[in-house]
Amino acid sequence: RKEVEQDPGPFNVPEGATVAFNCTYSNSASQSFFWYRQDCRKEPKLLMSVYSSGNEDGRFTAQLNRASQYISLLIRDSKLSDSATYLCVVTVDNYGQNFVFGPGTRLSVLP
Amino acid sequence: DAGVIQSPRHEVTEMGQEVTLRCKPISGHDYLFWYRQTMMRGLELLIYFNNNVPIDDSGMPEDRFSAKMPNASFSTLKIQPSEPRDSAVYFCASSLRQGVSYEQYFGPGTRLTVT
């Protein structure tokens, strides 16, 4: 089993739609969780950290379920500019710096 | 402020040649990371440094790969000899750990093609 797994996608949604991505991880000792965004042929960039209580940043909401080892990202009112690959990230070492990236889920928001 | 700087941006080389990738982290950051991204394997951590000291190199694929960080503002990833399966995008990233929350900032990457 891979350490971090994500919905394979791609997700093709119309502008204004709500879309949800799921991510599961295998290491129960993982401490920190993130969602990164990667545009085509660009570097990954942090979208948001994921906190135990769940957190929201504008149209984006992240949830963590430690018991099920499950992370989610919800995007409301999708924009064309949201089209990208979304990478789930889990840390797996005591230093909290060994990032394990999921394979990513590609999102295309259509006009 | 300048972000993470990588050079070259593109490298095409022949099998068996030595390849050196370079990275300048964000000033003041104390962690530096080297990643490799391919379609088949996704984004993989190769090695990371803290205060110029290698902490975890378990992701380095084999002895042909080596990384150094001689000072806080420069790191290299060397492949010798290179093979076609080394073709990938290599990213360098840096971070500054503050409390339990931090962000890794990625450079634009070096696209390596080995023929």
DSSP B71-103: ETTEEEEEESS--GGG-EEEEEEEE--BTTB--
Contact: A97, B100; criterion CB under 8 Å: no
SS3 content of chain A, % helix, strand, coil (to 5): 5, 55, 45
Which residues on adjacent β-strands are paired with residue B78? Answer: B20, B66
pLDDT value, residue B61 = 87
DSSP H or E segment with residue A38: strand A33-38
Q: Do B50 and A95 touch (CB under 8 A)?
A: yes
| Chain B residue with minimum CA distance to A3 | B44
CB contact under 8 A, A93 and B56: yes
Decide if B49 contacts B34 (C-beta within 8 A): no
Distance from the first to the final alpha carbon of chain A: 37
Give yes or no for residue B1 having a pLDDT over 70: no
If chain A, 111 residues long, is cut into consecutive pieces of 10 residues, what is the mean pLDDT of each piece? 86 97 92 93 94 91 94 97 96 80 96 95
Which residues of chain A have a CB within 8 Å of the CB of B56?
A: 93, 95, 97-98
pLDDT above 70 (res B101): no
Q: What is the pLDDT of residues A42-58, one digit of tens each?
A: 999 999 999 888 899 99
How far is the C-alpha of A95 from the C-alpha of B58, rounded, in Å?
14
* Tokens found for residue B84: 């076609």
Residue B41 in tokens: 């394997």
> Judged by CB atoms within 8 Å, which residues 64-103 of A form the interface with B?
87, 93, 95-103
DSSP B60: -
Yes or no: say if B77 and B21 are a contact pair by the CB < 8 Å rule: yes
Q: What is the pLDDT of residues A2-17, one digit of tens each?
A: 789 998 789 999 999 9
Q: Does A32 touch chain B (CB under 8 A)?
A: yes
| Inter-chain CB proximity A100 and B100 less than 8 Å | no
pLDDT averaged over every residue in chain A: 92
C-alpha B110: how far from chain center = 9
Count of A–B CB contacts within 8 Å?
Answer: 47
Contacts of A73 (CB under 8 A, 6+ apart): A20, A21, A23, A35, A47, A60, A61, A62, A86, A88
Beta bridge partners of A25: A4
Nearest CA-CA distance, residue A57 and chain B, Å: 16
Rounded to 5 degrees, φ, ψ at A80 are -55, -35
The burial class, CB within 10 Å (0-12 / 13-18 / 19+), for B79 is buried
Interface test with B, best of A99, A100, A101, A105 (most B CBs within 10 A): A99
Cα-based distances in Å from B62 to A103, B42, B67, B79, B86: 23, 18, 12, 10, 11
